[in-house]
Amino acid sequence: MTGTVADRLDVVRARLAAAGAEPGSIQVLAVTKGFGPDVVRAAGAHGLVDVGENYAQEMLAKVDALADLSPAPRWHAIGRLQRNKVRQIAPHVHLWQSVDRLPLGEEIARRAPGARVLVQVDATDEPGKGGCPLAELDRLVGSLIDLGLDVDGLMTVGPTDPEVDPRPAFDRVRAARDRLGLRTLSMGMSRDLEAAVACGTTMVRLGTALFGPRRVSPPGAK
């Protein structure tokens, strides 16, 4: 497993460089949804301590299984999150990446005052997709700041259809980030990281590019 992750990480770094990224300029978030704790250990062995989980119960199981790991993973909550799960994972989350509505922000502010968050933006207008509409973004960012949260940047998910060019959506989110004067831009996954780099991302969220096909199905409950 360790060698496999090392080889894939080399490929990822080569892809980032070929897309125009300066070495070390883009943070790689290891997305371990659907994988066991072993891949978190393998990622950490190669310096990938920032780990993204989509589901609260899966994060909690891995936190328990990896209590001995040093350095400890920095957990990122990257999936659509129900308010009633915030209390359970709040002690463990380093960065909340999918804050897309005020009630969720209120619960995070209650359970983790001053927490660092990214606002998830819906830039593709696909039915059933999470994210704050661009037209409502300024109001939400302002409200989250008023709650005392550290709004560090924006996050978005590219088009579901792999045939659709993600760059227009990524460009819209980049422009919004710049206009709001925020820092972090989390966009780009295994299949579209090159487009994200071209559009100015500062973080890519990678699962299969680092670990291969998922071996188990993630739980249905968040």
pLDDT tens sequence across 146-201: 999 999 999 999 999 999 999 999 999 999 999 999 999 999 999 999 999 999 99
Query: Which range, of 58-62, 95-99, 126-130, 181-185, averages the lowest pLDDT?
Result: 126-130
Distance CA 51, CA 47 (A): 11
Query: What percent of the chain clears pLDDT 70, i.e. is strictly above it?
Result: 95
Distance CA 7, CA 129 (A): 33
Alpha helices in 75-166 (DSSP H): 83-89, 102-111, 137-146
Q: Any idea how long the chain is? A: 222
* Domains in the chain with CATH codes: 2-211 (3.20.20.10)
Residue pLDDT, tens place only, 117-137: 999 999 999 988 889 999 999
Report the Cα 185 to chain-centroid distance in Å. Answer: 10
Return the number of other C-beta atoms located less than 10 Å from residue 221's C-beta.
Answer: 10
What pLDDT was estimated at residue 129?
Answer: 86
Residues 6 or more apart whose CB falls under 8 angstroms from that of 133 comprise: 122, 125
